[in-house]
Structure 1
Amino acid sequence: MLRHRSSRFPLSSVARPALMACLLGGALTACTVGPDYQRPDTPQPAAYRETVTGDVGKDAALRAEIAADWWRQFNSPELDGLIARVSSSNFDVRAAVARIRQAEGTVDEKRSSLFPSVTGDLGRTRSRSGGTTTSGGTRTSINSTYSAQLSASYELDFWGKNRSALESAKASLDYSRYDKQTVLMTAIATVATDYFQALAYKDRLALARRSLQDAEDVLRGIRARAQAGTATAVDVANQVNVVEGERAAIPQYEQSLAQQIDALAVLVGVLPEQLKIEGTTLNSLAQPEVAPNLPSTLLARRPDVASAEAQLIAANATLRNVIAQQYPSLSLTGSYGYQNSSLSDLFNPASKLWSIGSSLSQTVFDAGNLQAQSDVQRARVEELAADYQKAVVTAFADVEDALAGVRYTRDIRSAQEKATASADEALRGTTGQFQRGTADMVSVLTAQRTLFSAQDSLVQSRLNYLTAIVTLYRVLGGGWSVEQTQAAADNAPGRAGG
């Protein structure tokens, strides 16, 4: 239904009371249709099954809030510098920040629908009327009309359609902020593990070079014994095979080290030629001890879980918006201005004009389109509810896996240290026996290969332990919290938020 009135009476005496009455009536009777958001029920353990130390009491003594700069616990200034670049230069993080700005713009856009839209028009129209035939010929008339007018339109958010759209946009903004934290945390953890991997390759490269030098020393000794007649040509050939095998391993490690540094360069947003890794060994790193707080604190510290819930909240708000579209829509329009054929008389009181109107629209038939949209959105909410529940369960599983990873990689590292010490002692003893003529060359070669393998495995076990620590920091949230992000958003000047 459309009502329209026009008059030359002042707006203040007629239009303004009617407009205010309509706005007040809409505000008093406004409501929101559709389901309110409810967080899905998710199981939460009372305690973790796995432990870092193998003893629940010792784990409890290690519990502490994880610092936001947890990587400093490894005592590597070079690692600190690499991670400092991530926040500003990592390409994935920069893209995530841009997505936040997009979401902020969407919030501002949806918020604007809660307010009237006002436009101003200034115009001049020049027209020619039809000719009139007289005895003196055909006469035509050319006229000009000048106008100045303000027009306003406003849709009363009677059923909460626009408010639900704004709520969905805000939840999507929250998702973008949490997702940025997930991307940042993943990038930081990847930089740390890739840096450790680069140092491990340096360790293995140094080990291979040292092993090659030892093998060459043994080869010289065997050749000397061959000249003296106490060693055979076969002994020499076997040791040459060992030497060349050790030599062949070196380019492989050099290639892997170069590729690892290239990967680090991409993560910190620089060209590979601009990145140099000065660190030389994993042994220079500290090995921090970390244990989780109670499981009840985990969900508020996992940005991926917060992201999953924000998506669910946004979908639920969108469902309410879709449902509200099935209800009647009430709009108000109004205009006020002047119109005259003379520019000098444009703002003469006699040139004044105004109009006010209202319209009520309701979809009568759409072949079930709106209902189908509602059904689709309900299914979307159910899908995201399942995704959220999966994210929660996965978060607890991640912690269990990481706890087991730290505990068992530490045990493996300790056992490998003992195995390496034993292999080193065995080689020294076998070499001495060989020099005294009480052991053959096969025993020396076997001891050499055993020690090199043990030393290489020790480097890898140290790397695995450090990587497991990084993983535990990451799955515990890396010092992040929902409150942290919300406080930063609230304190950011001029940003979309509440």
Structure 2
Amino acid sequence: MYRWSLLLLLVTVLAGCKMGPDYMRPDVPSGESWRIAPAATESIANLSWWELLQDKELQNVMQIALTENQDVRTAVASVDQYRAQLVMTKWDLAPSLSYGASAFMYHTTGGDATTIPGGGGAIVLPGQAGKDSTTFSNTIGFGNLKWELDLWGRLRRAVEASEAQMFSQEENQRTVILSLVGSVGEAYFGLRSLDLQVDITKRTLKSWEESVRLSQLRYKQGYIPKLDLDRFEAERAGTAAKLADLERQVVQKENQLNALMGRKPAAITRGLPLTEQPMPPSVPAGLPSELLQRRPDLQQAEQTLAAATANIGVAQAARFPQLALTGAVGGANANLSGTSIGPLFIQNVAASLAGPLLNASALGYQVSVNEMKARQAALQYEKAVVNAFKEVEDALIAVQKTREQREAQEQQVAALQSALKFADQRYQGGRASYLDVLTSQRSLFEAELALARTLQTQLVSVVQLYTALGGGWSVTEHPEQNLPDPRVQKNISARVQ
């Protein structure tokens, strides 16, 4: 009794051991403030995406994309797969119990004895010597038990690795959602920018057509040379070509948005014009330390590192013996020529110990392989952190400088509009050459297109900062006032939560 108690105590102590290192988050510098923006406790990433992107049609497009986008749905399915895999891994810690049954019958001719399989030898039955006999036997095993005692923590480390992999896939799902929010916002603002450029180009083309018409009259009356008329017609043709190119880009941008929404190409309903899109008065970035907890791609990289660390323990434990308890409980019955022997009750308990011998060196190399994988995962995590800080800093400077650029270009457009007005008056009065009008009109056209692109860049930079800070991936809340279409609301399901 004392020996069994000592053995039980030893097994209990060993079962509390786990081979391999425990996971610890690597030290990465975060700083107290951003390089460009001052320190702030609030962050624009605290806003829900529908609070930042207030265009109702954009919200409609975003809802459809979050529900129907194939990448999001694939990420959800991947999470379900790894969740099921975790359950399977946890079951390895529990005893396994199986059942089975068998039955057979055979006939013997002559002889002095009848042998019952599994009975340990021949049994001579009275009155059966030298006669034919028929044997029927059945066995039912209803308690085949096997339980591996996790002495070195191999199974528990495997559970840790599987759990970290599941968490990594959950963060990957959020990363996909975050990327989708940014992509849809950028594509929509790009579409509205192209719409504005098309309007500018059409207005400019109409102005050139009027200039060509007047120039043709003046040329026929002999007031201007053919060179002036050719110049105006060339500018009109160039503007028409620009319009055709912009219209091509509009359709392609609509196709891009439809692809993000997971559907075939179709027209996109527009919302607010680019010049009327809400612009947040300030875009605080919050504290750098928040980035490690907020950005899902960093969480994903960290969980990948945690899984790789746990796999080191799995490989180390595989080098040690594995102790398993087995047992069986069952029953058997034999019937020989109508004479029943049984039933028989069968039970057994055993312990098995198995460990590597010739492959011990190979298992040692497997430990080294897993250690190198963990080292690579740690470097990838550090790289992801560095890249995240870079993206935030890039977005911060873009928000700041595009605002300054937009203000300067607005002044430039206003000045060029005034210059064109006076140049045209002077040309019509014969006090200036056509070159003044051409130069002013061309400069105004290019400045207006540039301003439209800068407006787009400014809006996109805000979206990029929002996603770089880790905002926009939560889709678990949907205020009623921000669900523009009941058909879209009906499609929102738990698969994107």
Q: Same fold (TM over 0.5)?
A: yes
2:342 & 2:392 partners in 1: Cα distance? 77
1:97 paired to 2:76: yes
Deviations 1:406-443 (A, max 9, x none): 11111111111111111111101100111111111111
User: Deviation at 1:271?
Assistant: 1.1
Structure 2 match to 1:146: 138
1:463 paired to 2:456: yes
Structure 2 match to 1:295: 288
Structure 2 match to 1:487: none
1:107 paired to 2:86: yes
1:440 & 1:64 partners in 2: Cα distance? 55
TM-score by length of 1: 0.86
1:161 paired to 2:154: yes
Note if contact 1:211-1:246 (Cα within 8 Å) is conserved in structure 2: yes
1:276 paired to 2:268: yes
1:76 paired to 2:25: no
Deviations 1:279-315 (A, max 9, x none): 3631121112311111121110011111111000000
Q: 1:352 to 1:24 in 2, by over 3 A?
A: farther
User: Deviation at 1:230?
Assistant: 1.4
Q: Secondary structure at the match of 2:99?
A: strand
2:186 & 2:109 partners in 1: Cα distance? 85
Count of aligned residue pairs for this structure pair: 457
1:188 & 1:129 partners in 2: Cα distance? 79
User: Deviation at 1:161?
Assistant: 0.4
1:49 paired to 2:35: yes
The counterpart of 2:100, out of the listed 99, 121, 131, is 121
Q: Secondary structure at the match of 1:119?
A: strand
1:391 paired to 2:370: no
1:433 paired to 2:438: no
Q: Secondary structure at the match of 2:35?
A: coil
1:192 paired to 2:185: yes
Alignment of 1:345-384 (within 5 A): 351-366=344-359, 368-384=361-377
1:231 & 1:348 partners in 2: Cα distance? 127
Which amino acid letter does the alignment assign opposite residue 127 of structure 1?
A: Y
Note if contact 2:105-2:134 (Cα within 8 Å) is conserved in structure 1: yes
RMSD of equivalent CA atoms: 2.9
User: Deviation at 1:367?
Assistant: 6.0
Note if contact 2:45-2:467 (Cα within 8 Å) is conserved in structure 1: no
User: Deviation at 1:470?
Assistant: 0.5
User: Deviation at 1:70?
Assistant: 2.6
1:421 paired to 2:414: yes
1:260 paired to 2:253: yes
Q: Secondary structure at the match of 2:21?
A: coil
User: Deviation at 1:350?
Assistant: 5.0
The counterpart of 2:21, out of the listed 29, 35, 38, is 35
Deviations 1:243-282 (A, max 9, x none): 1111111111111111111011111111113x42323631
Note if contact 1:43-1:393 (Cα within 8 Å) is conserved in structure 2: no
Structure 2 match to 1:309: 302
1:96 & 1:314 partners in 2: Cα distance? 19
Note if contact 2:333-2:342 (Cα within 8 Å) is conserved in structure 1: no
Note if contact 1:261-1:277 (Cα within 8 Å) is conserved in structure 2: no
Structure 1 match to 2:215: 222
User: Deviation at 1:68?
Assistant: 5.1
Structure 2 match to 1:180: 173
Amino-acid identity (%): 31
User: Deviation at 1:124?
Assistant: 1.4
User: Deviation at 1:231?
Assistant: 1.3
- Give ranges in structure 2 of 5+ residues lacking alignment: 114-128, 478-494
1:19 & 1:192 partners in 2: Cα distance? 69
Q: 1:21 to 1:153 in 2, by over 3 A?
A: farther
Structure 2 match to 1:243: 236
Note if contact 1:86-1:184 (Cα within 8 Å) is conserved in structure 2: no
Which amino acid letter does the alignment assign opposite residue 111 of structure 1?
A: K
User: Deviation at 1:144?
Assistant: 1.1
Which amino acid letter does the alignment assign opposite residue 273 of structure 2?
A: T
Structure 2 match to 1:445: 438
2:211 & 2:252 partners in 1: Cα distance? 33
User: Deviation at 1:224?
Assistant: 2.0
Structure 2 match to 1:5: none
Q: 1:328 to 1:235 in 2, by over 3 A?
A: same
Q: Secondary structure at the match of 1:368?
A: helix
1:336 paired to 2:329: yes
1:459 & 1:323 partners in 2: Cα distance? 61
